[in-house]
Amino acid sequence: MIPRIHPTALVDAGARIAGDVDIGAYSIVGPDVTIGAGTRIGPHVVVTGSTTIGARNRIFQFASVGEIPQDRKYGGEPTATAIGDDNVIREFVTIHAGTAQDRGVTTIGNGNWFLAYTHVAHDCVVGDATTFSNNAQIAGHVTIGDYAVLGAYAGVHQFCRVGAHAMLAAGAIVSGYPAKPAGTNNEGLRRRGFSAADIATVRRAYKTLYREGLPLEQARTALAQAAKDAPLLAPLVAFLETSDRGIVR
């Protein structure tokens, strides 16, 4: 099969494009780009840098993927962007490559939705099945766990993490002004197949961490003990053990 490339698109001869890819009018694809099967790129999209895009992604008009990072430390080093399968990247989304000072690659998993005007900065790691609502922005070196939801205009400060299944309210700022926890995402957990018993376990863990007045180290110890009988708490325990910047609390 031959890719369907609009006559006005500029696709470098060095780009590796699967046979059933669509590339729309006036889009630009650079020489170090790989695009997987079934991906559709709309008009006026720019995909540049050392960028790998997997299968069945849909990238809408005016998105920019793989551009150099917005970081004063960046000095032209070879860095990369890696995007998995089945992602939706809407209008005016920007996803930037990594920096040599960190991972060197910005990584996005599978099945994510990036709504209009969202931004993924350099060296970020985004898991699977996340949703970035309109204008959600994450700074450099941020990690977003699977199934996380970022509300419209939510922001995440550099080097912070958002855990799996977390939800940030519209306009929320992680690590500032001040950020505060508001409860467990019960409806989101139900939609993802968690049982009533599982959700009750998560709520008890939340109470231990946020409502019992325990010092953080004591709360960590209590949750680690609880996880021995409730393995679904293991990701929370691991998150707390590897939190270099502390947690919203």
Cα–Cα dist 115/132, whole Å = 6
Residue 37 pLDDT level (bands cut at 50, 70, 90): very high
pLDDT of residue 175: 65
140 is catalytic: yes
Tell me the β-bridge partners of 95.
65, 120
pLDDT of residue 176: 56
Degrees (nearest 5) of the Cα angle 9, 15, 20? 70
Phi and psi, residue 149, nearest 5°: -125, 125
Does the pLDDT of residue 245 top 90, yes or no? no
Catalytic residue among 44, 96, 119, 122, which?
Answer: 122
DSSP string, 8-43: T-EE-TT-EE-TT-EE-TT-EE-TTEEE-TT-EE-T
Which strands, in side-by-side order, build the sheet including 143-144?
16-17, 33-35, 50-53, 80-83, 105-108, 125-126, 143-144, 161-162
Does this model's pTM top 0.75? My answer is: yes
Q: 192-239, pLDDT tens digit by residue?
A: 899 999 999 999 989 998 888 888 889 889 989 998 999 999 888 888
Catalytic residue among 32, 86, 102, 123, which?
Answer: 123
Antiparallel, parallel or unpaired: β 137-138 and 119-120: parallel
SS3 category, 143: strand
Catalytic residue among 30, 140, 145, 163, which?
Answer: 140
The per-residue pLDDT of the chain, averaged, comes to: 93
Helix and strand counts by DSSP (H, E) for the chain? 4, 26
Cα–Cα dist 225/210, whole Å = 17
pLDDT above 90 covers a percentage of the chain that reads 73
Query: E strands within 112-160?
Result: 113-114, 119-120, 125-126, 131-132, 137-138, 143-144, 149-150, 155-156
Cα–Cα dist 198/190, whole Å = 9
85 is catalytic: no
123 is catalytic: yes
The contacts of residue 3 (CB under 8 Å, 6+ apart) are: 11, 17, 18, 19, 20, 21, 22, 23
* Among 117, 122, 116, 164, CA closest to 139: 122
Q: 18-27 long-range CB contacts below 8 Å, 24 or more apart?
A: 18/55, 24/61
pLDDT of residue 247: 78
Between these two residues, 75 and 187, which has the higher pLDDT value? 75
